[in-house]
Amino acid sequence: MPAEIKTHYRACNLCEAICGLEIKTQGDQVISIKGDKQDPLSRGYICPKGTAMQDIYTDPDRLRQPVKRSGDKWETISWDEAFETVAERIVAVQEQHGADSVAFFAGNPNVHNYGSMTHASVLRKAVQTKIHFSATSLDQLPHHLTSYTMYGHQSLIPIPDIDHTNYMLIIGGNPLASNGSIMTVPDVPKRLKAIQQHGGRFIVIDPRRSETAEIADQHLFIRPGTDAYLLMAMIHTLFAEDLVNTGHLSDLLSEIDDIRTACQPFTPELAEQRTGIAAEQVRQLARDMATIEGAVCYGRMGVSVQVFGTLCQWAIQIINILTNSLDVRGGMMLSSPAFGYVKPGESGAGHFAAFHSRVSGLPEFAGELPATVMAEEMLTEGEGQIRALITTAGNPVLSAPNGQQMDAALSGLDFMVCVDFYINETTQHADIILPPTSALEHDHYDIAFHRLAVHNTARFNEAVFEPAADSKHDWEIFNQLGLAIAARKGMTLKPLPSPDLLIDMGIQRGPYSAAAGHRLELTLDKIKQHPHGLDIGPLEPSLRERLCTADSKIHLLADYLLQDIARLAETGAPTKADELLLIGRRHIRSNNSWMHNSHRLVKGKPRWQLLMHPDDLAARQLQDQAQVRIESRVGAVETQVLASDEVMPGVVSLPHGWGHKREGVSLGIAVEQDGVSCNDLTDNKLIDQASGNAALNGVPVRVVAI
């Protein structure tokens, strides 16, 4: 008798869009994965990543049991042995070199997995180090620092009310490839086209004519790393042409005149010199933001991971504030999630510059140091040197700048343990790897992305398959490893209950709970009664009552921002004659490097090549599809170049996450792929000075024939 065919509904957690899936299974086999047409957020949309969830579940390269390094080989061990060995080694390193000789690095898949978000704190409490790093400072740290400064909480991040927008200015973002980023927006192609269908427009500003730019009403090329001049000139124009309208937020603002003074030197003419965008076009962008009702300005990776990343994100908030586009329908608004609703008194607000890194003196944010300093903190001898590392779902060898330096730093550690289910470019350096269950084997609730969703929904995701008998969820690993370390230290440490219980407690204290007097009286059990997701409604104005600053005002300026504005004013004209500026690029089939181990996500036309404008090829006497050498301050790689007018002259583009052909990597499909790591070129000393965030775009490089 064949096994019964079952239908499961859950969200995909491989990127920020959290698209609803309809998954049909028979026994332990996936028969089909389709978009869930009844999901109120994704509305049946699905991208190629969703169908690849089964590839991770069935991947023969995925670890199911703990492994220990034995010379150049790996030996399977029991969980008890793994926990005891890790506890013994971590405590030994700390006893010899101090508590802060052990560091943590967390990759971005942790945010896609609620067990990691709820339970990693148990392990951190046991280890008791203050040295923490994460992918945040390789990505969105400027967003968090800006929200902390202006609104009082790092997670109080306004996002575009795209379903009601009439004019959307997208700077350095490619939501058609990313499905939104710091903006949970599944089905984004239809949502962008809907803006046009009801008479609105959207404009893309990017050094590359991206997938989103292709369907935009207008695309403007901009020199990488110069976006701050454009944004400051738009603010300048709003004041110069008397276009400022702060609307219903006026009584919350007290530094408008200081903003006017700070932006005075940044004329549209200066912006034209720096960016390549005509001065009159800059003025028109400001006028459109000011005069079109339901306008919004949104900026993402291109403006975050550059040398003025924080200043760019701050300026975007200022533009929305000065054009009455914040906390209004169609503008920038706050999501109102059932769990994790940010309001005054909420924990996790953040803090800034409470301490600094040992070698380069960069500031911490919310207890984390910038990942750009992680390698030097391992390689630089002396008191406080990192001697051991705990990674959770991270691959900094491919994701952090100066990957070769990171590779060397990891190889010199006294001990390394990784919570991960692949032996990749980073985890190959580990002494022990602790693999959690895969996504289809555990339940899930999207904590982070409901906080950033363009429409308020709630959805609990039941496990599709029962996990293997001797496997462990990530939250169980954190609980048990934390207890093992605490016991060896003689500490008393309580494990946390399962994540669903913690989520239920949060929902019952949330805005839709009986305790809040809301008609829905939400609990997790009630959400479970809606397997396709519960529609809570559109975004609504709520910023005034949710401000977390001490005086309940919006803080428009801070000393570090004024210093960065001065730095921008003093920055000279760009680059040497033979230099090109390197940028990344996103593809809808990829998010993290381990997705390259799915055949369905890497099949088809290669997408790892260097893109270069034909004029730049000709100037260097290079041929289309030739092998070239790319050189930066920190390294060099060799790859194939493609002629493309997608990129503007002076710019080259290389995608993130490739470069798997390294000794020790056990990813059977990925290692067969060509391509190199762009982070063997990105520079750990090229940073956003305000936050310490990595500047992965606008990296000066030379391209020469081999």
Burial of 573 (0-12, 13-18, 19+ CB in 10 A): exposed
- DSSP three-state, residue 253: coil
- Do residues 521 and 582 both lie within one domain? no
Which CATH number is 316's domain given? 3.40.228.10
Q: Does residue 135 contact residue 112 with C-beta atoms inside 8 Å?
A: no
DSSP state of 92: H
CA 560 to CA 548: how far, in whole Å? 20
Domain count of the fold of the chain = 4
- DSSP lists the bridge partners of residue 703 as 630
CA 563 to CA 566: how far, in whole Å? 5
Q: Does residue 237 contact residue 283 with C-beta atoms inside 8 Å?
A: yes
**Cα angle 458, 187, 293; round to 5:** 90
Q: Which tokens hold the place of 264?
A: 């005075």
CA 578 to CA 307: how far, in whole Å? 21
- Do residues 104 and 185 both lie within one domain? no
- Do residues 408 and 473 both lie within one domain? yes
Residue 575 is predicted with a pLDDT of: 58
Q: Which tokens hold the place of 493?
A: 């440490």
- Do residues 310 and 371 both lie within one domain? no
Which ranges of 451-498 would DSSP assign to H, the alpha helix? 474-489
Residue 328 is predicted with a pLDDT of: 98
Which CATH number is 363's domain given? 3.40.50.740
Domain region containing 558: 141-338+543-567
- Do residues 588 and 700 both lie within one domain? yes
With a CB cutoff of 8 Å and minimum separation 6, the contacts of 317 are 146, 150, 158, 326, 332
Residue 576 is predicted with a pLDDT of: 67
How much of the chain is in helix, strand and coil states, percent to nearest 5? Answer: 35, 20, 45
With a CB cutoff of 8 Å and minimum separation 6, the contacts of 240 are none
**Helices 309-322/559-570 angle, 10° precision:** 110
Which CATH number is 30's domain given? 3.30.200.210
Q: Does residue 454 contact residue 159 with C-beta atoms inside 8 Å?
A: yes
- Do residues 307 and 363 both lie within one domain? no
- Do residues 487 and 585 both lie within one domain? no
Q: Is the dihedral of CA 29, 33, 37, 38 positive or negative?
A: positive
Q: List per-block mean pLDDT (blocks of 10 residues) for the chain, which spans 706 residues.
A: 92 93 96 97 93 93 97 96 98 98 96 95 98 97 98 98 98 94 95 97 98 98 98 98 98 96 97 97 98 98 97 98 98 98 95 97 98 98 97 97 98 98 97 97 96 98 95 98 98 97 98 97 98 98 98 97 97 74 93 88 93 98 97 98 98 96 94 96 98 97 96
Give the helix/strand (H/E) hosting 274. Answer: helix 268-275
CA 190 to CA 192: how far, in whole Å? 5
pTM over 0.75: yes
- Do residues 487 and 416 both lie within one domain? yes
Nearest to residue 306, comparing CAs of 68, 583, 37? 583
Distances (CA, A) of 53 to 20, 22, 40, 453, 546: 12, 12, 21, 22, 37
Residue type, 10: R
CA 461 to CA 532: how far, in whole Å? 9
- Do residues 312 and 351 both lie within one domain? no
As a three-state string, the secondary structure of 566-628 is HHHHHCCCCCCCCCEEEECCCCCCCCCHHHHHCHHHHCCCCCCCEEECHHHHHHCCCCCCCEE
- DSSP lists the bridge partners of residue 75 as 68
CA 307 to CA 581: how far, in whole Å? 13
Residue 143 is predicted with a pLDDT of: 98
With a CB cutoff of 8 Å and minimum separation 6, the contacts of 539 are 161, 333, 334, 335, 336, 454, 455, 456
CA 675 to CA 605: how far, in whole Å? 13
CA 613 to CA 647: how far, in whole Å? 6
**Cα angle 284, 289, 293; round to 5:** 130
CA 217 to CA 690: how far, in whole Å? 34
With a CB cutoff of 8 Å and minimum separation 6, the contacts of 111 are 117, 447, 448
DSSP state of 435: P
- Do residues 134 and 146 both lie within one domain? no
Q: Within a 13 Å sphere around the CA of 360, how many CA atoms are in the beta-carbon half?
A: 21
8 alpha-carbon distance from chain centroid: 28
Burial of 116 (0-12, 13-18, 19+ CB in 10 A): buried
- Do residues 646 and 507 both lie within one domain? no
Residue for token pair 């004029």: 615
Nearest to residue 474, comparing CAs of 114, 208, 209, 198? 114
User: What are the backbone dihedrals phi and psi of residue 659, each rounded to the nearest 5 degrees, phi first?
Assistant: 95, 45
- DSSP three-state, residue 195: helix
Q: Does residue 674 contact residue 637 with C-beta atoms inside 8 Å?
A: no
22 alpha-carbon distance from chain centroid: 26
User: What are the backbone dihedrals phi and psi of residue 76, each rounded to the nearest 5 degrees, phi first?
Assistant: -70, 135
- Do residues 170 and 257 both lie within one domain? yes
CA 4 to CA 642: how far, in whole Å? 50
With a CB cutoff of 8 Å and minimum separation 6, the contacts of 360 are 373, 376
Residue 589 is predicted with a pLDDT of: 87
